[in-house]
Chain A
Amino acid sequence: MTLENKVPEGPIESKWQQHKFNMSLVAPSNRRKYDIIVVGTGLAGASAAASLGEMGYNVAALTILDSPRRAHSIAAQGGINAAKNYKNDGDSVQRLFFDTVKGGDYRSREANVYRLAEVSVDIIDQCAAQGVPFAREYGGTLANRSFGGAQVSRTFYARGQTGQQLLLGAYSSLMRQVDRGQVKLFSRREMLDLVIADGAARGIIARNLVTGELERYAAHTVLLCTGGYGNVYYLSTNAGNSNVTAAWRCAKRGAYMANPCYVQIHPTCIPQSDEFQAKLTLMSESLRNDGRVWVPAQKGDSRPPQQIPESERDYFLERKYPSFGNLVPRDVASRNAKAVCDDGRGVGATGRAVYLDFSDAIERFGAKVIAERYGNLFQMYERITGTDVYTEKAMQIYPAVHYVMGGLWVDYNLMSNLPGLHVLGEANFSDHGANRLGASALMQGLADGYFVAPYTVADYLANAKLDPVDTDHPAFDEAERDTTARVDKLLAINGSKTVLEFHRDLGKIMWNKVGMSRTEAGLKEALGEVRTLRDEFWRDVKVVGKAADFNKELERAGRVADFLEFAEMLILDALHRKESCGGHFREESQTDEGEAQRDDQNYSYVAAWEFQGEGKEPTLHKEPLSFDFAQVKQRSYK
């Protein structure tokens, strides 16, 4: 099967405009005849559900949490990019497009990225109209700051809680539709299977997490907005409930998983303190605007940071990348932090940390201004580590898994290869290539939900010939049977090792061998170890409690089981891509200076993997990438 990306013809500047005109519409009076399921209520899901509800479709919105407002988009701190050029510093849609393509190391689909840059300006207008309290200048206009991978100030923010405020904006619009009856909200529901009837995605099986009952939802189309799979590493900055299950169950039903090896490791996280740690906490990248990254120039220098004189510090990012300095993209910053720690110059109790120093900034602007910019982040750091940044002047940071660029394959219309299954936000693969720029996740989630899906979903509904399908259809019986069998199997093993222990073991394999730096030998070892661990899981996991009850252990067991299957696909993808690009760094493929070396000749494609059955090798499908508008170069931030 060839992958049709459905990118419209024509110049890149007019593709989306022309496509919007070419797409079919559903008349307002006909929209109520269509049912749409939206799984997940983060930025992508909440904005899509609200927008489709406003248009008059019948929407069912499901969230795994007790309220849509808690989705993990809420934790994004730093900001959202938009090509507004309010600062008159040379920004434009073209520049945001180009920065994003370059930041993604030329592994994204050009037309999608251009559209993202194009609608970015509408997102800011939309959110401002909703009453999102963006940071403002004294005159009342919107404030901006700069972020990694860019030389303009195009990032809009609401203190250090931008994700929260944008999500609450989308959530409020969603709840307005709930009040109007256009959206039916189902909280504490977990999607456990996709139902395909007559060749199209027509529904889902979800578990009611309070009663444990399996529920059937039928619709004309399904929008999957379930976020990323970073928790396959166990320790990440993702929330405890973030998981791959919904996406993986779609993959098992035939949806292709694209570029799963593209994982973003964020440079500024609080280092791990002990083995019981359940998550890593991110410190917004915006800190790199004013913080300077350094380690001691000499190995084994254990003096407190402020006792190490300037001349004995190595500001390694400023030294190696004079034009971008501390604001190089995330993958570059992370790899360099790892390199200096591998070199024995790391700091802190474990030697796996570097300093992020604010002495200069505090001297230049005063503590008050710095507190206004980063107060909540300094407070968070103090709470977790017990260290006061205002007196210590420096934080300790280390990279951690944060975001995944990979995800379910979608065409230009955000539809997977399975007709009727749309995938939005972090759950799809489409816009960030092999590395995402800071402040672009919020942009993509809202672009997909507010400004892309409302058009493309209508086009699908207007053209698809869909017979009536209700929850009595045999496809629902089959999917529910499969789900019940899986739940029963998990509960019947009654082994000796807990779900948490399996998840930690999986995380260690993934972080050590499939993390910031990958080798063929290491990946092959990881593959064997994951397979062994998966066998052990199905032989020896201990899952307590009942199926028909509120049972968090059972929930987690299902998710870890899926991570154990999905991890194998991720490793196979990393193994097959023998080049380095963005967040995927193969030690075998680097420049003389140790930077990621792409191999455009052989790997300029999207790798879309088709599941073939448990324990079987997935099939690779390739979507070739062509860059007709952005000039392909070796990335340089020097």
Chain B
Amino acid sequence: MENMTLNLRIWRQASDSDSGELVDYTVRNVSPDMSFLEVLDVVNDDIVKSGNEPVAYDYDCREGICGSCSLVINGVAHGPREATTACQLFMRHFSDGDTITVEPWRAKAFPVVKDLVVDRSAFDRIQAAGGYVSFDTGGACDANEILVPKEAADAAMDAAACIGCGACVAACKNASAELFVGAKVTQFALLPQGQGERDRRVLAMVEQMQEEGFGPCSNEGECQAVCPKEISVAHIQTLHREYTRASMRRIFGAG
């Protein structure tokens, strides 16, 4: 595959209180083995050389696990490849002469910090509301005293694979965070360690989720389609079941 010339239309916005716009950049000599973020690096190096401010975007591990990536590429969170974060999107999936639009996550609960960088601290606050097992350091029993059947451990791991990137929210027309919350609630609901706080956890996390301004799920499944870790929408059903169960137990008693 030959090197390519691409036209990038990138969202530039100085801060949340400023209005933004799409700005055109041409980038030449793009190798098919470059990652999407490496193309942005090249664009930025050119911008810096011309004395202007480069495009701000979040990155860290560049191997698809830290969840820093937050780019909507051609209208799709993380771009056209399934089960892939933007850092793991390689240019061999584009063609010479393509115009590619790059925008930040757009959601009320994820305000823009600058250009393509958004504030996802709402996820941290949801986690803080109940996404844990209350177990202080020290005094744990031998790990093999808590038996977890392989099926439950595997299913919990499927849910726990979420990287907290927020693509699910960006892809949802309601900016719902139910896939993110559902995955965490499911992980603990499946494990014996999570049973003690099962009711409290789901109620607190859902309450926080609503307070942050995320919308409700309306079953479009767009979240699963863009999720880089292929977290299933089944976790949203689990979330609803767990929420109903906890609410009922709160009203009618736990017995």
A and B associate in one complex:
yes
Cβ B188 vs Cβ A131 within 8 A: yes
Cβ of B137 under 8 Å from chain A: yes
Query: Nearest Cβ in chain B — how far from A139, in angstroms?
Result: 7
Cβ A72 vs Cβ B66 within 8 A: yes
Q: What is the bound-complex CA distance between A496 and B83, given in angstroms?
A: 40
Cβ B153 vs Cβ A278 within 8 A: no
Interface residue from B60, B88, B124 paired with A383 (Cβ < 8 Å): B88
Cβ of A493 under 8 Å from chain B: no
Query: Nearest Cβ in chain A — how far from B80, in angstroms?
Result: 13
Query: Nearest Cβ in chain B — how far from A410, in angstroms?
Result: 20
Cβ B160 vs Cβ A133 within 8 A: yes
In residues 138-158 of chain B, which contact A (Cβ within 8 Å)? 138, 140-144, 146-150, 153-154, 156-157
Q: A51-B137, A141-B144 are in contact. Are A131 and B193 (CB under 8 A)?
A: yes
- Number of A-B contacts defined by CB within 8 Å: 223
Cβ of B136 under 8 Å from chain A: yes
Cβ A135 vs Cβ B127 within 8 A: no
Interface residue from A75, A137, A498, A550 paired with B56 (Cβ < 8 Å): A550
In residues 173-197 of chain A, which contact B (Cβ within 8 Å)? 173, 175-176, 178-179, 185, 187
In residues 126-183 of chain A, which contact B (Cβ within 8 Å)? 126-131, 133-142, 158-159, 161, 164-165, 168, 171-173, 175-176, 178-179
In residues 33-81 of chain B, which contact A (Cβ within 8 Å)? 33-35, 37-38, 41-42, 45, 48-49, 51-54, 56, 58-68, 81
Residues of B contacting A51 in the complex (Cβ-Cβ under 8 angstroms): 136-137
Interface residue from A86, A164, A172, A379 paired with B65 (Cβ < 8 Å): A164
Interface residue from A84, A128, A165, A176 paired with B160 (Cβ < 8 Å): A165
Cβ of A74 under 8 Å from chain B: yes
Residues of A contacting B65 in the complex (Cβ-Cβ under 8 angstroms): 74-75, 161, 164
Interface residue from A70, A126, A139 paired with B66 (Cβ < 8 Å): A70
Cβ B62 vs Cβ A86 within 8 A: no
Cβ B124 vs Cβ A500 within 8 A: no
Interface residue from B48, B88, B147, B163 paired with A384 (Cβ < 8 Å): B88
Cβ of A240 under 8 Å from chain B: yes
Query: Nearest Cβ in chain A — how far from B194, in angstroms?
Result: 6
Interface residue from B53, B154, B188, B191 paired with A545 (Cβ < 8 Å): B53
Residues of B contacting A553 in the complex (Cβ-Cβ under 8 angstroms): 48, 53-54
Cβ of A306 under 8 Å from chain B: no
Cβ B60 vs Cβ A134 within 8 A: no
Residues of B contacting A552 in the complex (Cβ-Cβ under 8 angstroms): 54, 56
Query: Nearest Cβ in chain A — how far from B212, in angstroms?
Result: 14
Query: Nearest Cβ in chain B — how far from A638, in angstroms?
Result: 34
CB 8 Å contact bits of A538-577 with B (1 = contact, 0 = none): 0000101100001111000000000000000000000000
Residues of A contacting B153 in the complex (Cβ-Cβ under 8 angstroms): 133-136, 140
Residues of B contacting A140 in the complex (Cβ-Cβ under 8 angstroms): 147-150, 153
Q: Which of B112-120, B216-224, B233-241, B243-251 contacts its partner? A: B112-120
Residues of B contacting A70 in the complex (Cβ-Cβ under 8 angstroms): 60-61, 66-68, 164
Cβ A176 vs Cβ B187 within 8 A: no
Q: A74-B65, A133-B187, A500-B45 are in contact. Are A68 and B92 (CB under 8 A)?
A: no
Cβ of A298 under 8 Å from chain B: no
Query: Nearest Cβ in chain A — how far from B236, in angstroms?
Result: 20
Query: Nearest Cβ in chain B — how far from A346, in angstroms?
Result: 18
Q: What is the bound-complex CA distance between A551 and B15, given in angstroms?
A: 12
In residues 63-83 of chain A, which contact B (Cβ within 8 Å)? 65-70, 72, 74-75
Residues of A contacting B156 in the complex (Cβ-Cβ under 8 angstroms): 131, 133
Cβ A69 vs Cβ B63 within 8 A: no
Cβ B48 vs Cβ A66 within 8 A: no
Q: What is the bound-complex CA distance between A122 and B140, given in angstroms?
A: 8
Residues of A contacting B48 in the complex (Cβ-Cβ under 8 angstroms): 498-500, 542, 544, 553
Residues of B contacting A580 in the complex (Cβ-Cβ under 8 angstroms): none
Cβ of A380 under 8 Å from chain B: yes
Interface residue from A125, A168, A210, A240 paired with B143 (Cβ < 8 Å): A125
Please, which residue of chain B has its CB at the minimum distance from the CB of A156?
A: B143
Residues of A contacting B124 in the complex (Cβ-Cβ under 8 angstroms): 67-69, 175, 178, 185, 187
Q: A129-B193, A161-B161 are in contact. Are A273 and B33 (CB under 8 A)?
A: yes
Q: What is the bound-complex CA distance between A138 and B151, given in angstroms?
A: 8
Interface residue from B38, B113, B129, B136 paired with A277 (Cβ < 8 Å): B38
Q: What is the bound-complex CA distance between A6 and B45, given in angstroms?
A: 49
Cβ of A454 under 8 Å from chain B: yes
Cβ B128 vs Cβ A175 within 8 A: yes
Residues of A contacting B131 in the complex (Cβ-Cβ under 8 angstroms): 172, 175
Residues of B contacting A130 in the complex (Cβ-Cβ under 8 angstroms): 132-133, 135, 193
Residues of A contacting B123 in the complex (Cβ-Cβ under 8 angstroms): 67
Cβ of A537 under 8 Å from chain B: no
Cβ of A17 under 8 Å from chain B: no
Residues of A contacting B35 in the complex (Cβ-Cβ under 8 angstroms): 278, 384
In residues 317-365 of chain A, which contact B (Cβ within 8 Å)? none
Cβ of B19 under 8 Å from chain A: no
Q: A130-B133, A139-B147 are in contact. Are A72 and B61 (CB under 8 A)?
A: yes
Cβ of B121 under 8 Å from chain A: yes
Cβ B41 vs Cβ A276 within 8 A: yes
Cβ of B90 under 8 Å from chain A: yes
Query: Nearest Cβ in chain B — how far from A368, in angstroms?
Result: 14
Cβ of A458 under 8 Å from chain B: no
In residues 260-280 of chain A, which contact B (Cβ within 8 Å)? 273-274, 276-279
Contact sample, A vs B, 18 pairs, CB 8 Å cutoff: A51-B137, A65-B60, A66-B119, A125-B141, A125-B142, A128-B140, A130-B133, A133-B157, A158-B157, A165-B157, A179-B129, A239-B61, A277-B38, A278-B38, A380-B63, A383-B90, A386-B90, A542-B48
Closest 5 A/B residue pairs (Cβ) = A140-B147, A172-B132, A128-B143, A125-B140, A129-B140
Task: Known A-B contacts: A65-B68, A129-B133, A136-B154. Give 7 more (CB < 8 A).
Answer: A67-B124, A122-B138, A140-B147, A164-B163, A171-B127, A498-B49, A542-B49
Residues on A facing B (Cβ under 8 Å) = 47, 50-51, 54, 65-70, 72, 74-75, 84, 86, 122, 124-131, 133-142, 158-159, 161, 164-165, 168, 171-173, 175-176, 178-179, 185, 187, 210, 239-241, 273-274, 276-279, 281-282, 379-380, 383-384, 386, 450-451, 454, 496, 498-501, 542, 544-545, 550-553
